[in-house]
Chain A
Amino acid sequence: QMNLEQSGPEVKRPGTSLRVPCKTSGFSFGNSAIHWVRQARGQRLEWIGWIVAGSGRTNHAQKFNDRVLISRDMSEKTAYLELTSLRSDDTAIYFCAARSDSKIDYMEVWGTGTTVIVSS
């Protein structure tokens, strides 16, 4: 059974960086694609980016420009989202979601989310 384990809540100061892990199990990580999606309180889902785990190829939404880095650790079967220069409007729940066959068109399974609060 596909499972995505996400970490507990984090509080960050404006201007600092965030690194959120997504530990996978129950499927072949090397043949998967992992998306990152965030949701501010009461707001819509917002796609951040994806990584094809086997190749390491990534893509991300233009609004994040050079603030976002998506990576993976094959030995740990874990994907990471890094977001730099944090602002208060980065406060949100950050979800990882996976496809088990390296395709990126939709998300089969979602993690429970990591709550991130950016506040001084």
Chain B
Amino acid sequence: SDELTQPPSVSVSPGQTAIITCSGEELSVQSAHWYQQKTGQAPVLIIYKDTKRPSGIPERFSGSSSGTTVSLTISGVQAEDEADYYCQSAAGRVFFGGGTRLTVL
């Protein structure tokens, strides 16, 4: 299956920890990558190969993987983190999850 499943929405208060999950059979053999997309902007890579963080991405963003599920953790959420978050994997062809809207209360 080429489907990646994410929760449609996650809500947290500032300073709390947000965890966004992404599930799919291919994640047991393929890496996952995460993008942040703020309203009206292009996506930005925030995690690649399950756990790696590109330069310039704050340390509060981290990734983990277990079996067929990967997770994006945002520690100490800030108002500016409010955005849509997409997981993505690839096996020749490329697949995106449905996206998760993070709301900072």
- Structural contact, A59 and B93, CB atoms closer than 8 A: yes
Residues of B contacting A97 with CB < 8 Å? 43
Give every chain B residue within 8 A of A104 (Cβ-Cβ): 90, 92, 94
- How many Å lie between the Cα of A77 and that of B25 in the bound state? 37
The reply on B45 being an interface residue by CB < 8 A is yes
Q: Which of B33, B90, B98 has the most CB of A within 10 A?
A: B90
Q: Is the pair B93, A45 in contact by a Cβ cutoff of 8 Å?
A: no
The answer to whether A44 touches B99 (Cβ under 8 A) is: yes
Chain B CB within 10 Å, residue with most, of A44, A45, A61, A111: A45
A80: chain B residues within 8 A (beta carbon) = none
**CB-contacts of A63-120 with B (<8 A):** 95, 97, 104-113
Tell yes or no: B58 within 8 A of A by CB.
no
Smallest CB–CB gap between A62 and chain B, Å? 8
Residues of chain A at interface, number, CB under 8 A: 22
A116, chain B: closest CB distance, angstroms:
15
Q: Which residue of A lies closest to B94 (CB)?
A: A47
Beta-carbon contact of A45 and B43 below 8 Å: yes
CB nearest to A111 among chain B residues: B42
What chain A residues lie within 8 Å of B42 (beta carbons)? Answer: 95, 110-113
A35–B99 contact, CB under 8 A? Answer: no
Q: A103's closest neighbor in chain B, by CB?
A: B90
| Distance in angstroms between the alpha carbons of A46 and B93 in the assembled complex | 12
**Beta-carbon contact of B90 and A105 below 8 Å:** yes
Query: How long is the Cα–Cα vector from A97 to B80 in the complex, in angstroms?
Result: 23
Q: Which residue of the partner chain, among B44, B54, B92, B96, contacts A44 with CB atoms under 8 Å?
A: B96
Decide if A106 touches B45 in the complex (CB within 8 Å).
yes
Question: Shortest distance in angstroms between B88's beta carbon and chain A's nearest beta carbon?
Answer: 6
Interface mask (B82-94 → A, CB under 8 Å = 1, otherwise 0): 0000101010111
5 closest cross-chain pairs (CB), A and B: A106-B33, A47-B94, A110-B42, A45-B96, A105-B90
B residues contacting A by CB (< 8 A) are 30-31, 33, 35, 37, 42-45, 48-49, 54, 86, 88, 90, 92-99
